[in-house]
Structure 1
Amino acid sequence: MTSAMTSASSETPGGPAVVAPGGRGALRIADRVVAKIAAQAAREALGALPKDAVPPHATVVIHHETARVRVHLELDYPSDIGARCAAVRRHVVERVGALVDMEVPEVVVHVERLHPAQTQGRA
């Protein structure tokens, strides 16, 4: 391998410089894409939702490869609300980090509504 092939760009005989794939540009993932991933992660963390609950949705602000996430959701009650919110936070951080390679230092979980838990099938 020659040194010209190992650099980010090199001259070709009689033509313009060839730029290596890593040096061709930048990747920007839209806020709405990250928000969809965060909402899906929240759904995964919650598991089964109350029958009449609205699925979780998220809003995201991205700044310098860092995503700050706000998740809006509905839960059944009675349940351990704090533990369920913590599970959502952990899963959103993990999935967003894994899928879009962004830091997620903040996940705010906003519980918009509580639904009475179904008594059938509960211990």
Structure 2
Amino acid sequence: MARFVYVQTRGIEAPERCFTVFFMAAVAKAMDDNAAIIFTQTGLSIFTQGFADHVLALDGSGKTLTDFIRNAKDQGVTFYGCRLSLPLVQIEPSSIVWPLTWIGAADFHSLLLEADRAVYLS
């Protein structure tokens, strides 16, 4: 079983780039691998209230970003939020409805060191 850590660095400024990380992590879990996503830089902004509910996938499926987030969470993907990015995206941790484990720089570094594969998506 491999351990994948996906790092999402883009957010509401590029909504079309927000889906892949959830899809890839859910696929890893479906293939019996471990998968976690770290949301850093503006990637954390996708958790702004209501944003994910209104962004539709470009594949014409009618699915929202919320559907992709829910699928990844249901598959057992772990979500991490970088505390250092909070001032950048101007959101409060208490306003995020999805369960994120908050990490700092040392935790981020440790997660990358422990992973078999780190994938950056921006």
Query: How high is the TM-score relative to the length of structure 1?
Result: 0.27
Larger Cα-atom Rg: 1
Query: How high is the TM-score relative to the length of structure 2?
Result: 0.28
Structure of greater relative contact order (alpha carbons < 8 Å, 6+ residues apart): 2
Structure holding more strand per residue: 1
Structure holding more helix per residue: 2
